[in-house]
Structure 1
Amino acid sequence: MRLFLIQWSGKELGMIDVVKRLQRDYTIAYWVLPNIEKEVDKGEFPSTIFHEHADALQGKPAPDVDVSGFEPPSAQLLEELSTTESVVLTMMNKLLGHLSVTERKRLYYRILGYWSGVFKTHRPDVVIFPLVPHTVYDLVIYDLAKSLGIRTVMFTATQDFIRLMPMTDFVEGISKLNREFTARENERVTLSDIAVDIRAYIAKHTEAKGDPTPPNMRNMKEKYGTKKSVILARAVKDLTVFQKSFHYLRKRFGANLEREYQNVSRIPDLSRKFVYVPLQFQPEATTSPLGGVFVDQRLLIETLSAALPKDWVIYVKEHPRQFIFYGLNFSQYRYRGYYEGIAKLPNVRIVPTGTDTFSLIQASQAVALNTGTAGLEAVLRGKPVLAFGYAWYRGCPGIFSVSDTASCKAVFDTILSGFSINRNKLITFFACVDRVSFKGYVEPHMQKLCGLSPSENADALTKALIAEIGRLAYT
């Protein structure tokens, strides 16, 4: 069986050891990863074509691939993957935001044509990703594989209790979890039937014990922010201190992202009936591709606004990471007028970023989002959730998948009729998550939180991949 590995890297995480073990039973036909020379001894993989991640992003072919016979994508293929094109052009905001729309389309055509040729000449049986593909070319590979009937495998990573779950299609969700919950939905399950780490997560959001903030979100300024003294030192070193000081002062005292948000934000009245919308940090996989068309979070809010019951309001709060990463700067996702446009909607209010998220969830009638931890936090607190995106947990009791005004209105009618979340089914869902997931990580920031050594992590990942590849071979 021939495997393609896309963005599978992390020597220090045990990820390369996983590939060495897979090679005992499978052919590693193609491997895209960053820093190849540092990560891999290519001599150990004599049958593998290696492709540098940065080159793949720019649409440059792998050195050992003969592209002389490759054809540009046909009109038929472009039409079949028209949704992919739309998603990818937006996804380019993150790393290729300097390109015009025309340049982005040219790059997309080049990437699609190349990988179409690679698939025809090197014929993979399974394409493996560490996570949901979200870096332009990997999404093209994923969607192209789907259109050709080639199997795909990836992991979804939970962000509080540190677990991984394999899946083959992020739109359909985790089939193993869905099957498990369907089979056990009406069983009587108690918390004692669930592993300690997941049980502790449930307790944080149901018993008000301990800090409910996800571990990866704590001390964000320390993790992601850059100290002003460091920025100043860099500017002095590269002789740009006067230029950068001028630009900073112009932003600080002129129009900027933070000021626009502060100008339109108001203290919320928690006694009102409201839907809470926690904006998600962008750019990130949680909205692109997992938000689908609702990568435009204003569209999500506008859809809710059009469906909202009379006398209800929507409270919108920005993700704290947005300002930590982008500071005062407007961006492709938070352009000038972004918050002002949201605040002008008649039944929508923007609230200060310092407003406690869990107080907003607790006082709300419902929570609405694409994906993200706030969805699970809400249902554990007894609040229904309108999920616009492809959240891995959308089969959980209390989660309603919506995509338009009509589906939102139907959910609001259900809520107004006295809907409540079945507690036993909710606990059963988490028991099923416990059964189908495993401890492991594919990202550096999760390594310390997980507690497994790289060798133990390699064991867990290898076991999961072999099981999933074996299952695909017989379905």
Structure 2
Amino acid sequence: MTIRLAVDGRGPLRRRILDALVAQSGGNVEVVLHLGDRDADFHAACLQRMEVRNGKKGHLLRDHLTKGADMHLLASPDFQNLMATAVDQMHRGSKYYNYRAHNLVNLQDYLDYYHVVTQALADQLTAAGATHALFMNMPHLGYDTMLYQVARSLGLKTLVLCQTTYSDRFFSMQRIEDMGVFDPSVGHAPPLPIKKGDQPDLFYMDDRWQKEGPRGRITAGAIKNYLKHIVLRDPKSLLRPDVMVADLRRIARIYGALPEWRDPFAKFFHRNEMPYYEMLASCEGQKVDYEAKFVYLPLHNQPEMSTSALGGVFRDQALVIETVARHLPEGWKIYVKENPRQNAFARGPLFWQRVMRLPDVQILPSHAPTHELTARAQLTATVAGTAGWEALIKGRPALVFGGGWWKSFPGVTRFHEGVDLQAVANTAFEHEGLEHAAGQLIARCHDGVIELLYSRMKEALDEEANAQVAAKGILDLLEDRVPVTFGSGAKG
């Protein structure tokens, strides 16, 4: 049977892999729908921003007529949660967080657009006779999640790929919710040597984020983005120099109260963001009692895959904090640390009002070192973050709320209502068991770099050779010659 493939894959690296995949299949794989860049059937990013950018087949929504709602998707028992997930992801394109914003304003706008896009995708997949859908990254941008949801509702066989952080290999799964689900006792791969107490080498993190440093000063980039905001969002203020002077003074105070590395308005400015940074500034003088009994809860950067795709209902990180608080043993604290890459998205005043109503919560200063916190905490709680893996390396237990790739490892407890946090804190596991589980996981992964950001994992990446290797692994998965990394097909 010919595999009639729908693909979400943006960027030249993935395009090269896709071309190699088709060539290697010897005619057994036909791409019938490709969401990508302008050389794809439809331009994907324009769906997120509601722009008119054509692919080879034009624009997905132009001249599209439908017979009505996509009943396959509507009939899904989890339809409301599916729609809420996509709406949450589309919100990242709001004018409050992007200069290149879409025109969606209220909830009904988001719901309407969701139905328009999913109907168009359903009609395209049906007309093309698609049998499989391939996602070359975890769907988390809105348009890709809608494609994934429609493909699942139509009964297509879905294959989701995700780059690993620690090697030039990638994970695979049939469903998003399978991320991290496998049986580490199955398999005979050698253990992966891990130095106990070591710190993961995360190239996207900065050492300055873990120690106290000099305060910042307002930058030229901040002033430029402030003026951009005034021109695009509030031109009336150009006639009120007093308002603009007051704004700039407020911005200068924010910079002076935060670490030099943060540079809050270097990429984007909106007046709504200022209260968020003022709240962070108010926590910079907090003292941290490392001798207390505490749950360490580092927040994820948001919006991002770890919450938008892998969090489920716990993409709401205030809910994570509230849930931990509800299960907290007497006398314990919850130490919450903001992600150093975070801006005001999903962190409005009401978010912090929810958190600050909890008497056992302390918001840590930005310089509180996450390495010491994971080592001293009774346990580390996270949706899907690397902090959980860091705690395990130190021999400390982790509580996971979402789809951490390490969630089947020894020392991990998956959240369930009524969880006993004292019992979680007392979880004992052997470091050798961790190395064994990591070895079994790496053996289930597939060779190749599929995410350009991670190409630095291989010096002078040969993109053509990489494309051939990655394509072979994907073809083996599509043709069921090898099992997926995670989920029901991962055993055996």
1:152-203: per-residue Cα shift (whole Å, max 9, x none)?
112222224443122221212366xx25x2314xx7x8xxx45xxx64xx32
Is residue 134 of structure 2 the alignment partner of residue 128 of structure 1? Answer: yes
Q: Corresponding residue for 1:44?
A: none
Q: In 1, Cα distance between the equivalents of 2:245 and 2:455?
A: 38
Q: 1:398 aligns with which of 408, 411, 429?
A: 411
Q: Equivalent residue of 1:154, what SS?
A: strand
- Asked whether the 8 Å contact 1:168–1:174 carries over to 2, the reply is no
Q: Equivalent residue of 1:320, what SS?
A: coil
Q: 2:308 aligns with which of 288, 307, 318?
A: 288
Q: Give the structure with the higher percent helix.
A: 1
- Asked whether the 8 Å contact 1:9–1:15 carries over to 2, the reply is no
**Structure 1 counterpart of 2:179, which letter?**
G
Listed as ranges, the matches of 1:50-449 within 5 Å are 50-57=41-48, 58=50, 62-63=57-58, 67-74=64-71, 77=74, 80=77, 81-96=79-94, 99-173=105-179, 178-179=182-183, 181-184=184-187, 193-194=190-191, 199=193, 202-203=194-195, 206-208=196-198, 212-218=200-206, 228-230=219-221, 247-253=247-253, 256-264=275-283, 266-322=286-342, 326=343, 330-331=344-345, 333-404=346-417, 406=418, 408-409=419-420, 412-415=421-424, 418-449=426-457
Q: Equivalent residue of 2:334, what SS?
A: strand
Q: Corresponding residue for 2:4?
A: 2
Q: Which moved more, 1:55-64 or 1:428-437?
A: 55-64
Count residues in correspondence.
430
- Asked whether the 8 Å contact 2:384–2:402 carries over to 1, the reply is yes
Distance 1:171 1:11, change over 3 A: closer
- Asked whether the 8 Å contact 2:138–2:160 carries over to 1, the reply is yes
Q: In 2, Cα distance between the equivalents of 1:444 and 1:294?
A: 28
Q: Equivalent residue of 1:426, what SS?
A: helix
**Structure 2 counterpart of 1:339, which letter?**
W
Q: In 1, Cα distance between the equivalents of 2:324 and 2:230?
A: 49
Q: Which moved more, 1:101-110 or 1:427-436?
A: 427-436
- Asked whether the 8 Å contact 1:440–1:450 carries over to 2, the reply is no
- Asked whether the 8 Å contact 2:43–2:59 carries over to 1, the reply is no
1:284-339: per-residue Cα shift (whole Å, max 9, x none)?
011002111011101000000010111111100001001xxx3xxx43x0112433
Q: Equivalent residue of 1:283, what SS?
A: coil
**Structure 1 counterpart of 2:408, which letter?**
G
Q: In 2, Cα distance between the equivalents of 1:122 and 1:220?
A: 51
Distance 1:471 1:23, change over 3 A: closer
Q: In 1, Cα distance between the equivalents of 2:67 and 2:291?
A: 63
Q: Equivalent residue of 1:379, what SS?
A: helix
Please list every run of 5 or more consecutive structure 1 residues that lacks an aligned counterpart in the other structure.
41-49
Q: In 2, Cα distance between the equivalents of 1:133 and 1:388?
A: 19
Q: Which moved more, 1:92-101 or 1:15-24?
A: 15-24
Distance 1:245 1:394, change over 3 A: farther
- Asked whether the 8 Å contact 1:165–1:174 carries over to 2, the reply is no
CA deviation after TM superposition for structure 1 residue 444, in Å:
2.3
Q: 1:35 aligns with which of 35, 38, 43?
A: 38
- Asked whether the 8 Å contact 1:3–1:124 carries over to 2, the reply is yes
- Asked whether the 8 Å contact 1:2–1:28 carries over to 2, the reply is yes
Q: In 2, Cα distance between the equivalents of 1:162 and 1:213?
A: 14
CA deviation after TM superposition for structure 1 residue 419, in Å:
2.3
Q: 2:475 aligns with which of 461, 466, 474?
A: 466
Alignment TM-score, normalising by the size of structure 1: 0.80
1:382-441: per-residue Cα shift (whole Å, max 9, x none)?
11111101122211111111143x1x33xx24236x420132221111111221224532
Q: Equivalent residue of 2:160, what SS?
A: strand
Distance 1:357 1:313, change over 3 A: same
CA deviation after TM superposition for structure 1 residue 230, in Å:
4.8
Q: Equivalent residue of 1:171, what SS?
A: helix
**Structure 1 counterpart of 2:290, which letter?**
L
**Structure 1 counterpart of 2:409, which letter?**
C
- Asked whether the 8 Å contact 1:160–1:216 carries over to 2, the reply is no
Q: In 1, Cα distance between the equivalents of 2:36 and 2:208?
A: 27
**Structure 2 counterpart of 1:18, which letter?**
A
CA deviation after TM superposition for structure 1 residue 35, in Å:
3.2
Q: In 1, Cα distance between the equivalents of 2:155 and 2:106?
A: 33
- Asked whether the 8 Å contact 1:4–1:28 carries over to 2, the reply is yes
Q: In 2, Cα distance between the equivalents of 1:392 and 1:183?
A: 17
**Structure 2 counterpart of 1:63, which letter?**
G
Q: In 2, Cα distance between the equivalents of 1:398 and 1:280?
A: 21
- Asked whether the 8 Å contact 2:66–2:119 carries over to 1, the reply is no
Distance 1:415 1:230, change over 3 A: closer
- CA RMSD after TM alignment: 3.4
- Asked whether the 8 Å contact 1:166–1:464 carries over to 2, the reply is no
Q: In 1, Cα distance between the equivalents of 2:67 and 2:90?
A: 24
Q: In 1, Cα distance between the equivalents of 2:125 and 2:288?
A: 53
Alignment TM-score, normalising by the size of structure 2: 0.78
Distance 1:278 1:473, change over 3 A: closer
